[in-house]
Amino acid sequence: MRLLVTGGCGFIGTNFIQGVLTAHPDWVVVNLDRLTYAGNRHNLLALEREQAGRADPNYVFVHGDIGDRALVLSLLEEHRLEAVVNFAAESHVDRSINDPAPFLSTNVMGAQNLLECARLRGVKRFVQISTDEVYGSLGAYGTFNESTPLSPNSPYSASKASADLVCRAYRETYGLPVIITRCSNNYGPYQFPEKLIPLMFLKAKNGDPLPVYGQGTNVRDWIWVGDHCKGVELALTRGAPGQVYNFGGAAERANLDVIRAILKALGKPESLITFVKDRPGHDQRYAMDFSKAARELDFAPSLDFETGLAQTLNWYRDNSAWLESVQSGAYRRFMDEWYGERA
């Protein structure tokens, strides 16, 4: 298969590209990434160097924006791409609270540009990577299924829900073979240290206070990133156009429990836990019913949370140079501003 993967230098995109090219060495991936603060070309540099100069390389990196019509059209044509997998997004809820505009620009308008280019070039599959956050927030009971009404609460989740609706419109109006996947919280290698698990690892390692929003009782359903990537591959190869598939890890954990597990694994004291001002509009609980993906795609999470967390912490321990390199000036400025206000 010949794929346009967008946002492939981010957390999930990097894991996806590594996974599919290992499993399918005959596939071709063109990775279009704007390299925002969250994108790191070095993640796949070894692959890029190995393929450079080949007549028909199976991995090509292109620095650019998903909103660039001429660029996307030319890539689809030049590389004879059959499918699009759209990971590119502004992905951090807290940043969307500070400034929603880039979220609407990339996550909605950027996605619409990709859809339009796919339509113009007759692409055979378009997989939109969405999120469980489009469904809103759960109380103590129940799960989200694919028919749960969309009820996003943050500018980030509103932008993702909007993109889902535009995807639906392209399917209904133009017959574009769009598939939407909605997944819960990923964890694993290459996650940017603004998200809970790598941020808490970093703080704990440095002996800094660990900022817990509210009471730390919010619940997320954690999934190993490799399992999400496998689900996306299954949706791409076996999914039915027009369908939505939920993926989850069957691993609901309260934030405080996750943070305590990290402290324990690193041998750090719980006195580092610091309760700070809550995230505005903070969703209380996410939990996924992924029985449709299990039934129709043969999807199943492979790794339990405790094993996956241990592997993740080991990866960050072994890759301290990576962790250091992604903390640019822009990263530090956001951290100072956001957590400065919450202290």
Binding residues vs ligand NAD (CB under 6 A)? 6-7, 9-13, 32-36, 38-39, 65-67, 87-89, 91, 106, 110, 129, 131, 160, 183, 185-186, 192
Active site residue 156: yes
Least Å from the CB of residue 185 to ligand DAU: 4
Looking up tokens 């202290």, which residue turns up? 343
Tokens of 87: 């990971």
CA-CA distance, 266 to 161, in Å (whole number)? 37
Nearer to ligand NAD by Cβ, of 7 and 211: the residue is 7
CA-CA distance, 133 to 150, in Å (whole number)? 9
Residues at the contact surface with ligand DAU, assessed by CB under 6 A: 91-93, 131-133, 184-185, 195-196, 199, 211-213, 218, 220, 255, 279, 286
Cα end-to-end distance, the chain, whole Å: 50
7 binds, among ligand NAD, ligand DAU, none (CB under 5 to 8 A by kind): ligand NAD
Which stretches of 207-319 are DSSP H helices? Answer: 225-238, 255-266, 291-297, 305-318
CA-CA distance, 331 to 161, in Å (whole number)? 26
Per annotation, catalytic residue among 65, 90, 133, 233: 133
- Which residue has its beta carbon closest to ligand DAU? 131
| 293 neighbors 247 (Cβ within 8 angstroms) | yes
Active site residue 341: no
CA-CA distance, 303 to 249, in Å (whole number)? 8
Nearer to ligand DAU by Cβ, of 31 and 131: the residue is 131
Least Å from the CB of residue 156 to ligand DAU: 7
65 binds, among ligand NAD, ligand DAU, none (CB under 5 to 8 A by kind): ligand NAD
| 216 neighbors 259 (Cβ within 8 angstroms) | yes
Residues in contact with 185: Cβ distance below 8 Å, sequence separation at least 6, in sequence order: 132, 196, 220, 221, 222, 223, 249, 286
Per annotation, catalytic residue among 33, 65, 132, 194: 132
Tokens of 96: 């969307």
Least Å from the CB of residue 155 to ligand DAU: 12
213 binds, among ligand NAD, ligand DAU, none (CB under 5 to 8 A by kind): ligand DAU
179 binds, among ligand DAU, ligand NAD, none (CB under 5 to 8 A by kind): none
Least Å from the CB of residue 112 to ligand DAU: 19
For residue 254, what is the enclosing H or E element? Answer: strand 252-254
Active site residues: 132-133, 156
